[in-house]
Amino acid sequence: MTRIFSGVKPTGHLTLGNYLGAVRQWAEVDQHRADALFSVVDLHALTVDHDPGRVRRLSKQAATLLLASGLDPEACTVFVQSHVDEHARLSYLLECVATDGEMRRMIQYKEKSARERERGGSVRLSLLTYPVLMAADILAYGADEVPVGDDQTQHVELSRDLAVRFNQRYGRTFVVPRATPPAVAARVMDLQDPASKMGKSHDSGAGIVYLLDEPDVVRKKILRAVTDSGTEVEYDREAKPGVSNLLEILAACAGGNPEGLSGVYESYGALKRATAEAVVELLAPLQKRHKELVADPAYVEEVLRRGAERAREMAKPTVDAAYRAIGLLPPT
């Protein structure tokens, strides 16, 4: 059976972009067609300035939201990365396979480290080695497929390179994974800046709908979304990025396709109102389920405990094999 691995980083509250762009497909499609693991990758949240309490809260919240979004612990494995030591163990071995030049060429590293230096800050070494830890996440489980957005495909390519290199040098140990862009996902852009992705770590929250935003907050953000010059509702990503983003969100929430929906609305205002209601309706059951799960913390803890146990069982044989293959003396 195909094995799938993907992760969410607890660096901010999960957004509508995370849900429509990834998590919904994990819940509706991936967990049913494959042997799937979904991880709250908390070690990755330590690569930039962080507040320990906040990371802890966001990790718990992300795990709870994954379950509220429909990930079913009977169908897939949901766990927190730091609960499974194999990630860090394997990451070190892969650091001995990767080169520093390879790391410095990573686009995300170049962008994030430049931004940090501009602000006069220092760059954590883990920001540079982050893609190696990500490769360890994937290779430890022998994942065939890694459903990620296009900002992560370079990291998955690196995972492939490291798997192939390790196998060539030390004998066949790892499955060579590939990135699989989600088939049905919507590309949700920031409501205030439709040229950039609706990401959870964006500076201001005005253009971002969070999964736990109250209905009135959702409405307000969508009604205040920037639109484009002119008055006609048209789906044209280049000429009308704001309107097209709303059409895309509406289609993803209510069904239909953005082009088809563009003929239905007479004005930008009408489109915004319809989109706001569609998002509120989409989020209602998820928020209800989240509330129930928050009221039952023992259940969530048990799911994560069992998830980590299952993940550990899957990862340990592969990571142990890598230790042997690379030349480390087995303990007696």
Residues near ligand TRP (CB under 6 A): 5-7, 9, 41, 44, 134, 137-138, 146, 148, 152, 155
Q: What share of the chain is helix, strand, coil (3-state, %, to 5)?
A: 60, 5, 35
Alpha-carbon torsion angle 94, 99, 100, 103, nearest 10: -70
221 given a catalytic annotation: no
> Annotated binding site for L-tryptophan: which residue ranges?
137
Residue whose CB is nearest to ligand TRP in the complex, by number: 7
Contacts of 248 (CB under 8 A, 6+ apart): 186, 187, 188, 258
> Annotated binding site: which residue ranges?
9-11, 17-18, 137, 149-151, 188, 197-201
| 3-class secondary-structure state, position 250 | helix
User: Do the Cβ atoms of 238 and 272 come closer than 8 Å?
Assistant: no
Residue 79's beta-bridge partner residues?
39
Which residue in the list 200, 221, 240, 272 is annotated as catalytic?
200
Sheet with 35-40: strands ordered across: 77-80, 35-40, 3-8, 145-146, 178-179
* Closest approach of ligand TRP to the CB of residue 43, in Å: 9
* Closest approach of ligand TRP to the CB of residue 7, in Å: 4
Select 21 or 194, whichever has its Cβ closest to ligand TRP.
21
197 given a catalytic annotation: yes
Which residue in the list 60, 110, 112, 272 is annotated as catalytic?
112
User: Do the Cβ atoms of 7 and 41 come closer than 8 Å?
Assistant: yes
Select 197 or 240, whichever has its Cβ closest to ligand TRP.
197
288 given a catalytic annotation: no
Select 112 or 219, whichever has its Cβ closest to ligand TRP.
112
Select 4 or 68, whichever has its Cβ closest to ligand TRP.
4
Residues in the chain: 332
* Closest approach of ligand TRP to the CB of residue 73, in Å: 19
> Annotated binding site for ATP: which residue ranges?
9-11, 17-18, 149-151, 188, 197-201
Residues carrying an active site annotation: 112, 197, 200
